[in-house]
């Protein structure tokens, strides 16, 4: 199980584990068609298509032609030109950089695409918790309980890890928790 989105709430994160996104050179690339969901490129990554869309950003499936790895790329919506939204997006990246836990997404790179911040993160193979729980309706009650228990233990460990570092998730919901194919 891996969580999708971790955010910071009122904490100075100090030095980041990898380069600070504000200190890295911005990566500009030709725009993809439409809202960044059609094939094109963003930074060094080739866009394969959309994965999800939230209130402030879209998540795309991309691959790195240098090594063939597939990643998820979170791209801020163009309408999010508010400096506070951009600042929150940068803080989210820096917060995620510091987290190393089996149930928390690993982020990798950061850039700017035609004025829109983006960052890449591991691509989790699986379904969100809402879909998974719905698929368990045919199981015997004791089997459903055992599976829910396993997921909740992993989720609790991830949230405890995040909170121990002074961070708050701010959007824990079944649709924002990914359950990997391996459980």
Pair 80, 156: CB distance under 8 Å: no
**CA–CA separation, 3 vs 110, rounded Å?**
19
Taking Cα atoms as reference points, which of 57, 94, 99 lies closest to residue 79? 57
Taking Cα atoms as reference points, which of 63, 82, 170, 163 lies closest to residue 122? 63
Catalytic residue status for 143: no
Catalytic residue among 12, 138, 171, 182: 171
**Alpha-carbon radius of gyration of the chain:** 17
Left if phi > 0, otherwise alpha if psi is -120 to 50, otherwise beta: which for 14? left
Please name the residues in contact with 55: beta carbons below 8 A apart, sequence gap of 6 or more: none
Active site residues: 171
């Amino acid at each position: 199980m891996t969580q999708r989105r971790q955010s910071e709430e009122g904490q100075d994160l100090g030095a980041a584990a990898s380069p600070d996104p504000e200190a890295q050179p911005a990566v500009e690339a030709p725009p993809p068609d439409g809202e960044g969901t059609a094939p094109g490129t963003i930074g060094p990554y080739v866009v394969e298509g959309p994965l999800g869309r939230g209130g402030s950003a879209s998540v795309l499936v991309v691959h790195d032609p240098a090594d063939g790895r597939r990643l998820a790329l979170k791209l801020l919506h163009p309408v999010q030109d508010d400096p506070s939204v951009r600042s929150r997006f940068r803080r989210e990246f820096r917060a995620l950089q510091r987290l190393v836990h089996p149930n928390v997404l690993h982020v990798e790179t950061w850039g700017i695409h035609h004025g829109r911040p983006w960052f890449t993160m591991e691509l989790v193979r699986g379904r969100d918790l809402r879909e998974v729980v719905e698929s368990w309706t045919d199981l015997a009650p004791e089997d459903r309980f055992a599976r829910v228990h396993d997921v909740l233990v992993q989720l609790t460990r991830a949230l405890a890890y995040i909170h121990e570092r002074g961070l708050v998730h701010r959007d824990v919901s079944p649709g924002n928790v990914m359950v990997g194919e391996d459980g």
